[in-house]
Each structure stands twice: as C-alpha cells, then as structure tokens.
Amino acid sequence: MNNSTPVPPFAKLIIVGAGPSGLLLALLLAQHNIPSTVLEAWPDLDTRLRATQYGVPATRIFRRAGLLPDFRAASIPKFPAICWRRVADGEKLVEIDMSVVQGEEDRMTVLQLGEMIRIMYNHCMDPAKGKGLIDIRFNHRVTGTGQDETRHKAWVDVDIDSAGSDTRHERLEADYIIGCDGASSAVRKSLFGNDWPGQTWDCRFVVQNVFYDGFEKHGWEGGNYCVDPEHWGLIARRGHGGLWRVTYGDSAVGLTDEEYLARRDWHLKAMLPGHPEPDQYRIEQTNLYNIHNRCAPTFKVGRILLAADAAHICNPMGGYGCMTACLDVGGLADCLIGYYEGKAGEEILDTYATVRRDIFLKYVDARSIKNLDRVRKADPWTVLQTDPFFGIIQDLNKDKDKLKEFLMKTSSIEYDFTQHYNDRPANNGTPSAEKNGIELAFET
Ligand SMILES: Cc1cc2nc3c(=O)[nH]c(=O)nc-3n(C[C@H](O)[C@H](O)[C@H](O)COP(=O)(O)OP(=O)(O)OC[C@H]3O[C@@H](n4cnc5c(N)ncnc54)[C@H](O)[C@@H]3O)c2cc1C
C-alpha cells in the first residue's frame, strides 16, 4: 500500500453462520476486496426444507451478487401464477398472473434453499468470485462472544470438531463479529440471553417435497395458498421432474413429531387436488418446524452485529424470511463497504442496525402475520369480499401494465444505505421506506 492509499478502518470480520445470509454477505464484501471468515457449526451446508421463493427485492440483491444466472439455470423455467384456493371445494378465489413479469430479469426467484446455498458456497470458493478472500470453516460452533473497546476488538469462543480428535476450544478475534447464525443464534443469545420479544404460533409446520401427478391432471400450476381453518398452507411447484412442495400448519397442540406425521395423510387428502390416497403420491423429504415472529432488542452492541434470522424471524407465509434476510445483508454490506472505503464513518453501522430493525417491526412483522391470518383465520367463504388485499389484486388483474408495475416496484422493505455515504448529496433523512407509501401485504 503506498502512502497515498488510506488504511482501511478494519481488517478482519468474522461472520457466524454459512446459511444464505452469511454466504451472501461474504460474497458482497469480496466484490469490494473485503476479506471475511465464515464459521459454520455443522460439517456441511444445511439441506433442510425451508425457503423456496424469494421476492423481487431479494432477486435484486442476487443479481448484484452475481448469483442470478446460476439461480435461474437451476430453477424451473416458468412460474405462471400464484393463487389462493378454498380447500373445502378447491375453488380458486383469486390469482396473480405472474406471466406478466416472465421477461423481467428481477422477477421473483424460485429455488429450494438447499440448492441456493450450494450455489452461493460454490461462488464463495470460486477464485474469480470469492477472490480467495472468503475463508469458510465448517465444524466451528460459536458458543459465546465478547468485546474490548479499549483494544477495538471483539471475539467469538468456538468449539472446533475434527474427525478422530476431541473438541478443541478456541477464541478467534476480529474487528467486528456479524451474527448470521439463524433463529437459534448463539451470537444473539450471548448478547440478550433468551430475550427475543415476539410470539411463537400455536401450530406445527409440516413441510415436504411431494411427487403427485394429480397436480397436473387437475390443472394446478405455480403457487397455491390454501385457505382453511384446519388445512391451511402453501402448495407450489418447486423443481424439475414434477417436484412440488407441500407446506401446511397443524394446529393440534402438544403432539410428538410422529403423531403430527400420522395426521399427514388426512391433511394431504383434504388439500391435494383429487383427494388422493397415500399410495397415489410419493413424499421424498420432510421437516417439521415451530414458527415464530420475533425481533431482537437491537441489531448492534458495540462491535457485534446481528442480521437476518439471528436478528428477527417471521412465519413463512408469503416468503418474507429469507427475502428480508437478503435485504439485511445487502444493506449491511453497503455499510461495511462504505466504512472500509472511507466513504462513511463507523456510525453508518448504527444506521444499519436502526433502519433494518424499524423496517422489520413496521412492515415485515405485520405483513407476514396478515399473510398467515389470510390462510388460517379468514372465513374461506367470505374472504374474497372482506380482505382488501384480494380487492387490490382483482383491480390489478384488469390492467396487465399496472399488475406488472405492482409486482416489480421498489418495496418499502428495501433501503439504500449508500445515501448515507459522504459523497452523496444531502438527503432529507427520510428512509426510502417512508417515501414509498403504503405497501401491499404480499411481496412475493
Ligand atoms: C418452512 C419454511 C419455509 C420458508 N419459506 C421461505 C420462503 O419461501 N421465502 C423466504 O424468503 N423465506 C422463507 N423461509 C425463511 C428462510 O428459510 C430463513 O429466513 C432463512 O433461511 C434465514 O437465513 P439465515 O442465513 O439468516 O439463517 P439460517 O438459514 O438458519 O442459517 C444459519 C446458519 O448458521 C449456522 N449456525 C447456527 N448456529 C451456529 C453457531 N452457534 N455457530 C456457527 N454456526 C451456526 C447454521 O448451521 C446455519 O448454517 C422459510 C422458513 C421455513 C422454516
């Protein structure tokens, strides 16, 4: 480095968690030659069935990270529509024609999370994309954090497992620690214990990959939200070779996982078109979850930051979780890049923490709860008339251009942190979220 090049204000970042948010953050930073170390508790990437669709705001970040061409290549070529159906008689209540955005580069992304994480990992390891700046360490389980402001350092305590030897304990130091370690975040717990305000929903979420030729036979396509007090959920085409994802909530309380699974045939018979018997479909993989809407008291304590599910979580109806996770790390990357390159002061990291938390509480939390209520609490026989969201969709369906504009618009959950860079004209301090006005409760 010659004398005229300013010394960057930090040299070492530790990202905890090699999930979508941790890997995406590492990639965005590497684009600006910022190195990072990613610590992952497990020996390999997560393959559980979780996210499958990511709205336009997330797609814009995927494009920026250079991931979009590979995501599109791995995805199904077309996703023609999203509809809401009444389970009792299978009637389609209302439909969004997604074909109007088929030619748009930034349209919604459809891909199983496991495949998405694998592609992100490959990009991190690719010398042209990760630039050799991303050090991913599996079998590194973070157990605690600490910091010392007099030395301008933070650290993580890590349990390191390696085959054939005892677990080692190490303390790894960095300038900043970023907790991207998901809902059970050890980083968040090290800051706040079990204080994670919000609610856990009184149901068990049962998620499976299903092969069933009845979907096509009965003319089902795209995404189908199922409205019913007992059999609510989402059934959607998600992969090549007739792969569909069936997700439903079971409101029975206090059963074992085996007992929940014993009720599955009953749910699928009610929800799937043609009301099939178990021998008519094939289930390939299943995962069960509790679902929550929760948010940490703050996303930054000194040199330790939280992002994505480690900071906040919401129920999956409508696909807000990973989309918001991507927007968190897209924003945090901009803040770290601005600070690293001398375009912003350290206080931009506080701005990140405040703005992204506000956006979660003001928009994401409320809208994801509306999405959940729409399928499980609404009266399936009157919801078309009583839910203003359905009225808006019906109006948009009359004008394809307006529908397209609605589907592609800048969302109030997006926020451009580069407006806080020193070289930008002074702005009025109003977050872009405020400027966009009312946001409709369906981002995907
Ligand atoms: C059933 C279901 C369906 C969903 N569908 C959608 C959808 O369609 N669209 C959408 O946008 N969102 C959806 N979501 C939400 C989405 O999956 C999450 O928001 C997203 O995975 C969050 O990413 P993350 O990187 O923050 O956390 P995670 O994906 O949980 O990744 C965290 C990583 O950190 C690692 N880790 C954990 N603890 C430690 C530790 N102590 N030390 C080191 N590493 C650690 C974990 O092993 C993991 O690899 C869904 C969620 C569920 C449950």
Which pLDDT score, from 0 to 100, does residue 6 have?
A: 79
Which amino acid is residue 123, in one-letter code?
H
Q: Which of 234, 260, 313, 322 to mutate for ligand 1's pocket (most ligand atoms within 8 Å of CB)?
A: 322
235-238-244-245 Cα dihedral, nearest 10 degrees: -50
Which pLDDT score, from 0 to 100, does residue 429 have?
A: 46
Which pLDDT score, from 0 to 100, does residue 342 have?
A: 96
pLDDT < 50: residue spans in the chain:
1, 428-441, 443-444
Count structural domains, the chain.
1
The pairing of strands 92-97 and 81-86 is antiparallel
Which pLDDT score, from 0 to 100, does residue 441 have?
A: 41
Instruction: Report the alpha-carbon distance of residue 255 to residue 258 in Å, rounded.
Output: 8
Which CATH number covers residue 375?
Answer: 3.50.50.60
Q: What is the DSSP letter of 52?
A: -
In-domain check, residue 370? yes
User: ∠182-185-189 over CA atoms, to 5°?
Assistant: 155
In-domain check, residue 204? no
In-domain check, residue 124? yes
Which pLDDT score, from 0 to 100, does residue 171 have?
A: 98
The pairing of strands 300-301 and 233-239 is unpaired
Distance in Å, CA 182 to ligand 1 centroid? 5
In-domain check, residue 42? yes
Instruction: Report the alpha-carbon distance of residue 405 to residue 402 in Å, rounded.
Output: 5
Among 29, 9, 60, 1, residue whose Cα is nearest residue 326:
60
Tokens of 121: 């990992």
In-domain check, residue 84? yes
Instruction: Report the alpha-carbon distance of residue 275 to residue 380 in Å, rounded.
Output: 19
Ligand 1 site, CB within 6 A? 16-22, 39-42, 46, 50-54, 113, 141-142, 180-182, 184, 186, 205, 207, 247, 289, 308-310, 316, 319, 321-323, 325
Distance in Å, CA 317 to ligand 1 centroid? 15
- Which residues, in sequence order, are bridge partners of residue 148? 153
Query: Do the beta carbons of residue 121 and residue 133 sit within 8 Å?
Result: no
Distance in Å, CA 208 to ligand 1 centroid? 17
Query: Do the beta carbons of residue 183 and residue 310 sit within 8 Å?
Result: yes
In-domain check, residue 443? no
In-domain check, residue 444? no
Structural domain boundaries enclosing 126:
13-198+293-413
In-domain check, residue 121? yes
Task: Tell me the Ramachandran region of residue 101: left when phi exceeds 0, alpha when psi lies from -120 to 50, beta otherwise.
Answer: alpha
